[in-house]
């Protein structure tokens, strides 16, 4: 194949459709990101703009060169020492996945399991922590994308902080489209990425680090067991006037444009349209005879559903792709063969795209039922 030119409407649970001006920004001329102090200033400016979404004035925000998993790996690498006790709060695929990342660095993981179909059970977690709260940090996921679940992380993080536990939150699939209050909720490390709500190309990880998390890294008895995932290398980039490695200048310039696009709408309008698109998806999906995977706590950024009886997830996804040029996502882990997902993140949380997708989905279901 000489050209790679996808021609479908990408309504997946990330990556999300990228706007013309964001695509165009990647083709702009750039200087030497290692030697040009103007680039560092621009980088700081983009990080500062992100603080609007993160709800933080106190934390340090950094943008790293790698897609979302780099942020998760970096948080685990930078905090975990051998035999450190870590609490993994799991009610979904990504929630569960933290265990593996922490164990790579020798952490002693305890998993707190909660139903995959609704937000973490705060009462059960409270009871659990009364018996055992001796953990260095806890991990949790804001929007667990494979099921479209939105955890109510404010009260959970406040509870964990009250027990002296540091909090690491994966908000890769929610930040930008859902209110996030890092300082108010006591989040110590927040993790996100460029290709979900921000609607830029995949390739950047966003990390915000609180003073308490920096302290925990600095007070380690043993060195961080990674170079690429060592967050401490980023702590003083302004003073040192140098990045740990050459920054992907085109990616950052393009991402800065994507952040501008979202901020130009005002935050609350952005949050509102995400909720409106979630509600529209839920209402229409039910009317076609699809059932929703979750019981409650539907994320404003992605909706997971099961096709009507007699139609498999794969049939539905393939029919929509082949006949209507729309790409939806399947899912992962235990949901992989049954669940279909519509992403309504960032640029995709727009009524024209969502209505068009739902109309074509309705036709698809009709056609598959009448095969
Ligand atoms: C997308 C996503 C990630 C990062 O995965 P990549 O696709 O590799 O960037 C991490 N956590 C959640 C909840 C996600 O949705």
36, 166, 176, 201, 331 from 146: Cα distances, Å: 41, 25, 18, 20, 5
Q: Which atom of ligand 1 is nearest to the CA of 146?
A: 15
What was the pLDDT predicted at 28? 94
Beta strands in 288-351 (DSSP E): 291-292, 302-306, 326-327, 340-343
**Could you list the residue range(s) of the whole structural domain that residue 326 is in?**
9-15+266-369
The reply to whether 4 falls in a domain is no
Tell me, using a 6 A CB cutoff, whether residue 293 lines ligand 1. Answer: no
What was the pLDDT predicted at 3? 87
Tell me how far apart the alpha carbons of residues 213 and 320 are, in angstroms, rounded to a whole number.
45
CA of 359 from ligand 1 middle (Å) equals: 28
Same domain, 290 and 184: no
Same domain, 157 and 300: no
CA of 301 from ligand 1 middle (Å) equals: 13
* CATH number reported for the structural domain that contains residue 68 in this entry: 3.40.640.10
Same domain, 253 and 276: no
| Smallest CA separation from ligand 1 atom 7, residue | 68
| Smallest CA separation from ligand 1 atom 5, residue | 68
| Smallest CA separation from ligand 1 atom 4, residue | 68
Q: List the helix and strand counts (H, then E) for the chain.
A: 13, 14
C-beta of residue 102 within 8 angstroms of C-beta of residue 91 = no
DSSP string, 97-139: HHHHHHHHTT-EEEEEE--TTSS--HHHHHHHHHH----SEEE
The reply to whether 62 falls in a domain is yes
The reply to whether 41 falls in a domain is yes
CA of 172 from ligand 1 middle (Å) equals: 6
Which of 226, 231, 222, 233 has the alpha carbon at shortest distance from 81? 222
CA distance between the termini of the chain? 33
Angle, in degrees to the nearest 10, between helices 267-287 and 351-369: 10
CA of 7 from ligand 1 middle (Å) equals: 24
CA of 363 from ligand 1 middle (Å) equals: 31
C-beta of residue 274 within 8 angstroms of C-beta of residue 298 = no
Same domain, 133 and 273: no
Low-confidence ranges of the chain (pLDDT < 70): 1
What was the pLDDT predicted at 2? 80
Same domain, 139 and 286: no
Q: Which atom of ligand 1 is nearest to the CA of 14?
A: 1
What was the pLDDT predicted at 70? 98
CA of 239 from ligand 1 middle (Å) equals: 31
Tell me, using a 6 A CB cutoff, whether residue 145 lines ligand 1. Answer: yes
CA of 262 from ligand 1 middle (Å) equals: 20
Tell me 92's DSSP state: S
The reply to whether 1 falls in a domain is no
The reply to whether 2 falls in a domain is no
Tell me, using a 6 A CB cutoff, whether residue 368 lines ligand 1. Answer: no
What was the pLDDT predicted at 209? 98
């Amino acid at each position: 194949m000489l050209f790679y030119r996808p021609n479908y409407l990408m309504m997946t649970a990330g990556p999300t459709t990228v706007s013309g001006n964001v695509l165009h920004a990647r083709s702009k001329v750039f200087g030497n990101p290692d030697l040009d102090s103007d680039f560092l200033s621009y980088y700081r400016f983009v990080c500062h703009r992100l603080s609007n979404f993160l709800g933080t004035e106190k934390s340090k925000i950094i943008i790293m060169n790698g897609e979302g998993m780099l942020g998760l790996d970096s948080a685990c690498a930078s905090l975990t020492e051998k035999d450190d006790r870590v609490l993994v709060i799991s009610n979904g695929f990504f929630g569960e996945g933290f265990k593996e990342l922490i164990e790579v660095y020798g952490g002693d993981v305890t998993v707190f399991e909660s139903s995959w179909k609704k937000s973490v059970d705060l009462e059960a977690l409270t009871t659990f922590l009364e018996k055992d709260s001796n953990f260095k940090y806890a991990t949790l996921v804001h929007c667990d994308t494979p099921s479209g679940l939105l955890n109510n992380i404010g009260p959970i993080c406040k509870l964990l902080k009250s027990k002296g536990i540091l909090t690491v939150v994966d908000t890769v699939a929610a930040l930008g489209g859902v209110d996030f209050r890092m300082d108010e909720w006591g989040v110590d490390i927040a993790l996100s990425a460029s290709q979900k709500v921000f609607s830029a190309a995949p390739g950047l990880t966003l990390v915000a680090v609180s003073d308490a998390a920096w302290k925990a890294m600095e007070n380690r008895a043993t060195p961080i067991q990674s170079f690429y995932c060592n967050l401490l290398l980023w702590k003083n980039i302004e003073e040192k006037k140098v990045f740990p490695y050459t920054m992907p200048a085109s990616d950052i310039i393009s991402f800065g444009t994507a952040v501008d696009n979202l901020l130009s709408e005002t935050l609350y309008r952005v949050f509102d349209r995400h909720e409106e698109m979630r509600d529209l998806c839920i209402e229409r999906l039910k009317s076609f005879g699809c059932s929703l995977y979750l019981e409650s706590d539907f994320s404003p950024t992605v909706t997971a559903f099961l096709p009507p009886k007699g139609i498999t997830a794969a049939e539905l996804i393939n029919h929509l792709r082949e006949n209507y040029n729309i790409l939806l996502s399947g899912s992962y882990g235990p949901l992989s063969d049954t669940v279909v997902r519509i992403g309504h993140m960032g640029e995709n949380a727009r009524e024209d795209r969502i209505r068009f997708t739902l109309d074509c989905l309705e036709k698809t279901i009709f056609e598959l039922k009448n095969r």
